A and B are shown apart, each in its own frame.
Chain A
């Protein structure tokens, strides 16, 4: 293990009593609790953390936060591994194993670096231009390109970690715990408001964790943070969430927060949660997301050791880590001076400050001067040297207008550079909320403009400068937001602040080059995607002038960092190239998530058995006992078929289908939708939603009905029974149970509220055993001796109440098989008892349980349709040959007028017909296309498709139904079903394949 050579004594907020061991690229290091992986690596002198995406250039830590483009690492091992994690956000924990990405064989010697040596051959759009031919080879090219330009690796197996979700509501959600966010939380919290404060880092305070040169009410800034956090913790309605990225801002103040709970504070538990996705509905949102420092764009500005000025201050003051042994600062504003003072205070040697401004002045500048630090005003870094770590920089003086270099070059030795190119307000969430941005010329920043949700932006993200101003904005926004959400209280008084004052910056987007030919090279704008200023120029020259085109052509801003440090500079450079300004270029769309998130966090606990509810009927155990195989029907698991030992599915289904027609079959029909309909206008209502007549259906009788949508297309079908005057029992398809009830309510509530009728779902109130076959009457009679089941007393399409096997039951004499059949409904709790009694008594008739597959064969033999199989929302009753069910005399029903539309009455619509194969044993695959004239290869003119197709043991041949163009007129003709290897010849028939006379219904 190596020593923490760059850890400074007694500085920062890490807990030195808690050393943590971790492994980076196979080597062990030590850090402390409170470190991020990034700070711990720097403490050990490790600046080189990754290779760039395209050129494989060695890269170091640029930042100390969410904006980090370079330090993307692979965390963990095996299936727990997580790629592309930003080292700056990775909370260090004991035993952590991480490795760098996008290098082979290793980080210091990476063969991919060859891309850098030939980088002039790899400009923006290179891959698009080069690998265009032949088109069919693109997949092959892509494989190798993606391999070369790799990010991390996704785990191969299931993620073993536990992820939770949590819904929360609050009055005020505050994003960001810097001075503005913290004071807003304090002001809102003390009114008693329900407040959630989120902080992306592992500790609250934002810039106050490292700006140690300020005092608030006489306290060092971080002491004030601690006191404020303690005050907030004591408020019962305030939720403090650190290590929590607010990563999405959606409609109506719905925000998602991703909380990382996997630090070593958590007590060990098998239910230990790694991350928790919060779904928050906030009455009001306060965005205090601060600002992100901008890099300066100069030649070779990407070498390890070059980082942002404020990040340097963060590593120093927050983590007690020195950035190096000789630090050069390069700036266009006062921030680097602030860093210089902090470095100096901790005895970190400073090489010089290179300032783009010709006459820097003000208190920070004066202080630096008085410390004896060299300042190069009006100068710029024009190039750097050093492969795996910065070694030196060359500087030159700038011309008055900043576009040229003058004078002689001077080389300055250094092992790290802190740079500051000004600040970008973090407007991502604001923009995601639907807010529009404006360009502020003076600050050279995009700032919030039009607000479309109940939110307020405060502090740095709103362009506010200075600690005092941020505190003031926070207190005001916190108090106002609390009041706006019906909480009472006044803002606390503004504390007394001592802070350094900043002077104006000098914005030069592109630092000129020292090269004689004037060509810029290796001026990196987007570090993660290796997009240089010259790539942007090239894109502009080639006509990619829209920012969205620029983004896609150069991949600028498309990485995991979404261009947090690069977008604004890229826009400005594009603007300069095109002779316009950033606001005229516009900006690309900000989309969630703000930082990459693990898929596991979105899956949460919806895994395995909890992925989707599995619904079973109350007879499920009975089916299992009979060895049933099950099939999914929506969320339902229905018994599919009941194989005997050594039986194939086809054999089992054949046996079941035969038994149902030869003696007795029994089916669990419990899943059918059931709706209880009551009221004096119930019949009138049915008359309006079904196509046929319902007013004269006598109590005790049942009728089959077809429901259409208003466009005339079949929507659902089922049998509805008049139980008692004004009381109906409707059945729907299994899949239509919920939608039909909603449909009935819709028509009742919105169109015919005057009709006196009520609907109640009773789908699961009843367990249903459907028995059919010539012996089913005898079987039922054995169990219900008191009932007269004769055709005279209990005719087809009627209902009886009575005792079956000691259970009060509703028995419907209806049939989906064409056989004599009874559907016995009992309260759900007695379902197994009914089933077992029928199976027991049925033994003497060789009762055979049949599943959904046999049910389908049985109904298809009779040409009965299944809605959703024979229909697909484009099929009318006429298309199905069901003209008989469409009333010609009713004044109105849903879909009536549409059935008269010219398109509906055309003869060449797809119509339902039967298909018989020439080879009787051949079963056509369902979904096959039907053609009139087959050719040896596609394309062929398709005139229809097969909707149902089975082997029918009762017909001793295969049967099929199909929707065929003008099918009714094609009956008797020969058509073809082309398959991959053969073509099946079929004859068109009607759809009745068995018992055409319908004599079996009465037994």
Chain B
């Protein structure tokens, strides 16, 4: 497989979309931009938010209190924490930071019933942005993403086309991070290219 064009870490292994994303490029006046966030760290954190010690201990490690409002996320420069359920969060970190974070959380939560599971490889994140990003999402997702109800800081889990996804909005461009299971990534990537075709698609690294 010729992927010399990809600026990879040494021996970083295979990412789900490596085979599909070889050469960046596409329409100059594109309506949507797509990229894969390769190998970003992903942990599933479970614990009881009504337990003060759980909240305090996780805050110490993350630098902020876990989001308790359903379908929102919070972030700082290192970690993005997405609410997934009343006792479940996704903690997204930079590539390579997941093992130490996993360790730190486990140590901080030694005396608290919890679980931290590394799922960095279980799924990947496709970043979709651009003026027509919302229109593309609306083609395959029944959740309302209108700016009156969905904005930066908001997140949801639902289906996009035939893939189950976790999605969160980063900014007003708008930019959406779409987390999808590894084996559905190439399907979803092709679907996004097809759905975005009428607006013009630019692929970024």
User: Which residues of A approach B to under 8 Å, CB–CB?
Assistant: 164-169, 194, 269, 271, 273, 279, 281, 605-606, 609-610, 612-618, 621, 635-636, 676, 678-680, 756, 758, 760-766, 827-833
B173 interface hit (Cβ, 8 Å)? no
A680 / chain B contacts, CB cutoff of 8 Å: 113
B197 near A271 with CB under 8 A, answer: yes
B162 / chain A contacts, CB cutoff of 8 Å: 606, 612-613
A58 to chain B: closest CB distance in Å?
Answer: 43
A598 to chain B: closest CB distance in Å?
Answer: 18
Given known A609-B190, A829-B121, contact A764–B113 (CB-CB < 8 A): no
What CA separation (Å) do A830 and B15 show in the bound complex? Answer: 9
B119 interface hit (Cβ, 8 Å)? yes
Given known A613-B162, A618-B14, contact A762–B183 (CB-CB < 8 A): no
B14 / chain A contacts, CB cutoff of 8 Å: 618, 828-832
B181 interface hit (Cβ, 8 Å)? yes
User: Which residues of B approach A to under 8 Å, CB–CB?
Assistant: 1, 11-16, 19, 39, 44, 46, 87, 113-115, 117-123, 135, 138-142, 144, 146, 148-149, 161-163, 181-184, 186-188, 190-191, 194-195, 197-198
B142 to A, closest residue via Cβ: A167
B202 to chain A: closest CB distance in Å?
Answer: 16
B107 to chain A: closest CB distance in Å?
Answer: 15
What CA separation (Å) do A763 and B123 show in the bound complex? Answer: 10
B77 to chain A: closest CB distance in Å?
Answer: 25
What CA separation (Å) do A609 and B198 show in the bound complex? Answer: 18
Given known A166-B139, A167-B141, contact A617–B119 (CB-CB < 8 A): no
Centre residue among B146, B182, B190 by max chain A CB count within 10 A: B182
Given known A168-B138, A678-B115, A764-B122, contact A615–B146 (CB-CB < 8 A): no
A766 to B, closest residue via Cβ: B121
B191 / chain A contacts, CB cutoff of 8 Å: 605, 610
A833 near B118 with CB under 8 A, answer: no
B138 to chain A: closest CB distance in Å?
Answer: 5
**Other-chain residue from A168, A273, A616, A678 in contact with B117 (beta carbon distance below 8 A):** A678
A676 / chain B contacts, CB cutoff of 8 Å: 115, 117
What CA separation (Å) do A269 and B190 show in the bound complex? Answer: 20
B44 near A760 with CB under 8 A, answer: yes
B140 / chain A contacts, CB cutoff of 8 Å: 165, 167
**Other-chain residue from B122, B149, B161 in contact with A610 (beta carbon distance below 8 A):** B161
A269 / chain B contacts, CB cutoff of 8 Å: 198
A832 / chain B contacts, CB cutoff of 8 Å: 14
B24 to chain A: closest CB distance in Å?
Answer: 21
What CA separation (Å) do A374 and B61 show in the bound complex? Answer: 93
A679 to B, closest residue via Cβ: B113
B182 / chain A contacts, CB cutoff of 8 Å: 618, 764, 828
B161 / chain A contacts, CB cutoff of 8 Å: 606, 610
12 new A-B contacts at CB < 8 Å, known A613-B162, A618-B182, A762-B122: A167-B141, A271-B197, A273-B198, A610-B161, A610-B194, A613-B187, A678-B46, A679-B113, A765-B118, A766-B121, A828-B122, A829-B14
Given known A621-B19, A636-B183, contact A765–B119 (CB-CB < 8 A): yes
**Other-chain residue from A281, A635, A763 in contact with B142 (beta carbon distance below 8 A):** A281
What CA separation (Å) do A614 and B190 show in the bound complex? Answer: 11
A829 near B15 with CB under 8 A, answer: yes
User: Main SS of the interface on chain A?
Assistant: mixed
Given known A167-B139, A168-B138, contact A828–B121 (CB-CB < 8 A): yes
A766 / chain B contacts, CB cutoff of 8 Å: 121
Instruction: Pick the 3 closest A-B CB pairs, nearest first.
Output: A829-B13, A615-B183, A828-B121
What CA separation (Å) do A610 and B140 show in the bound complex? Answer: 12
A759 to chain B: closest CB distance in Å?
Answer: 8
A739 to chain B: closest CB distance in Å?
Answer: 14
What CA separation (Å) do A636 and B46 show in the bound complex? Answer: 29
What CA separation (Å) do A830 and B19 show in the bound complex? Answer: 15
A760 / chain B contacts, CB cutoff of 8 Å: 44, 46, 115, 117, 119
What CA separation (Å) do A194 and B145 show in the bound complex? Answer: 13
B19 near A764 with CB under 8 A, answer: no
A328 to chain B: closest CB distance in Å?
Answer: 51
What CA separation (Å) do A760 and B87 show in the bound complex? Answer: 12
B44 / chain A contacts, CB cutoff of 8 Å: 760
Centre residue among A606, A636, A829 by max chain B CB count within 10 A: A829
A765 near B122 with CB under 8 A, answer: yes
B136 to chain A: closest CB distance in Å?
Answer: 10
A765 to B, closest residue via Cβ: B122
- Sample 22 A-B pairs with CB under 8 A, ordered by A number: A165-B139, A166-B138, A167-B139, A169-B144, A273-B198, A281-B144, A609-B190, A610-B161, A613-B163, A613-B187, A613-B188, A614-B186, A635-B183, A678-B117, A758-B115, A761-B122, A762-B119, A763-B181, A764-B182, A765-B118, A829-B14, A833-B13
A670 to B, closest residue via Cβ: B183
B198 near A621 with CB under 8 A, answer: no
A829 near B113 with CB under 8 A, answer: no
B87 / chain A contacts, CB cutoff of 8 Å: 758
A604 to B, closest residue via Cβ: B139
B162 to A, closest residue via Cβ: A613
A758 / chain B contacts, CB cutoff of 8 Å: 46, 87, 114-115
B139 near A610 with CB under 8 A, answer: no
A756 to B, closest residue via Cβ: B113
Given known A167-B138, A760-B44, A761-B122, contact A613–B13 (CB-CB < 8 A): no
B115 near A194 with CB under 8 A, answer: no
B113 / chain A contacts, CB cutoff of 8 Å: 679-680, 756
A763 / chain B contacts, CB cutoff of 8 Å: 122, 181
What CA separation (Å) do A766 and B141 show in the bound complex? Answer: 29
B183 / chain A contacts, CB cutoff of 8 Å: 613, 615-617, 635-636, 764
B122 near A605 with CB under 8 A, answer: no
A833 to B, closest residue via Cβ: B13
B146 near A605 with CB under 8 A, answer: no
Given known A610-B194, A618-B182, contact A279–B142 (CB-CB < 8 A): yes
B139 near A194 with CB under 8 A, answer: no
B12 to A, closest residue via Cβ: A829
B20 to chain A: closest CB distance in Å?
Answer: 12
B98 to chain A: closest CB distance in Å?
Answer: 10
**Other-chain residue from A168, A605, A756, A761 in contact with B195 (beta carbon distance below 8 A):** A605
What CA separation (Å) do A766 and B115 show in the bound complex? Answer: 18
B194 near A605 with CB under 8 A, answer: yes
What CA separation (Å) do A679 and B112 show in the bound complex? Answer: 10
A279 / chain B contacts, CB cutoff of 8 Å: 142
What CA separation (Å) do A200 and B173 show in the bound complex? Answer: 35
What CA separation (Å) do A486 and B183 show in the bound complex? Answer: 42
A612 / chain B contacts, CB cutoff of 8 Å: 162
A636 / chain B contacts, CB cutoff of 8 Å: 183
A607 to B, closest residue via Cβ: B194
What CA separation (Å) do A4 and B80 show in the bound complex? Answer: 68
What CA separation (Å) do A419 and B69 show in the bound complex? Answer: 63
A765 / chain B contacts, CB cutoff of 8 Å: 118-122
**Other-chain residue from B39, B121, B163 in contact with A764 (beta carbon distance below 8 A):** B121
A194 / chain B contacts, CB cutoff of 8 Å: 146, 148
A317 to chain B: closest CB distance in Å?
Answer: 37
What CA separation (Å) do A281 and B138 show in the bound complex? Answer: 12
B12 / chain A contacts, CB cutoff of 8 Å: 829
A808 to B, closest residue via Cβ: B99
What CA separation (Å) do A605 and B148 show in the bound complex? Answer: 28
B187 near A764 with CB under 8 A, answer: no
B184 near A615 with CB under 8 A, answer: yes
A371 to chain B: closest CB distance in Å?
Answer: 54
A156 to chain B: closest CB distance in Å?
Answer: 25
A614 / chain B contacts, CB cutoff of 8 Å: 186-187
Given known A165-B139, A680-B113, A829-B12, contact A613–B121 (CB-CB < 8 A): no
What CA separation (Å) do A536 and B171 show in the bound complex? Answer: 65
B149 to A, closest residue via Cβ: A169
What CA separation (Å) do A830 and B39 show in the bound complex? Answer: 12
A273 / chain B contacts, CB cutoff of 8 Å: 198
A676 to B, closest residue via Cβ: B117
B1 to chain A: closest CB distance in Å?
Answer: 7
A237 to B, closest residue via Cβ: B148
